[in-house]
Amino acid sequence: MKTHPLRRGGLIALLACLIFAPLVALAVDDPSEMLPDPAQEQRAEAIGAQLRCLVCQNESIEDSSADLARDLRHVVREHVAKGESNQQIMDWMVNRYGNFIRLKPPFTIGTLLLWVMPLLALCIGIGIAWWTFRRPRAPTPPPLSDEERRRLSDLTETR
């Protein structure tokens, strides 16, 4: 018995949903990790949005589904529940993981050097190239006189 093409397409779509639905469900965070107080939860989310997932690198811990990000979200929520200020929580995270944990690290001499070094290297390279090409070259010797040509001819003549 032949099946209708739309029915076959529906079966394929249903099968695809059954296969891919668990993958989508893995990215959803566990609601049990949320704080019961909505104000504290909002504070924890705001702090988490400023912290880098150390696994994903350019994703906040609030956006990441990595295990480490989940653990860091839990730590942030513990500190918020204890009543610590945002600054105290950020200081604790920076003391533990360094400034790399911040998605927007503070402007320091180190970050200044990080941004200026490529420009400095480019300027040094241009300076070296300019100095190299600007140096006077050895002067070209004057053309040979008739007497010098005759002597050279005599010396190079094969006998």
List per-block mean pLDDT (blocks of 10 residues) for the chain, which spans 159 residues.
57 59 44 75 90 86 87 92 91 91 87 91 94 83 91 83
SS3 119: helix
In terms of DSSP H, where are the helices of the chain? 5-27, 38-48, 67-82, 86-97, 109-134, 146-156
Q: What is the pLDDT of residue 121?
A: 96
Kindly report the pTM of this predicted structure: 0.55
Taken in order of first residue, the domains within the chain and their CATH numbers are 32-106 (1.10.8.640)
Tokens of 110: 């180190």
Q: What is the pLDDT of residue 110?
A: 86
CA distances from 41 to 17, 63, 96, 106, 114 (A): 32, 15, 22, 25, 35
Q: What is the pLDDT of residue 93?
A: 92
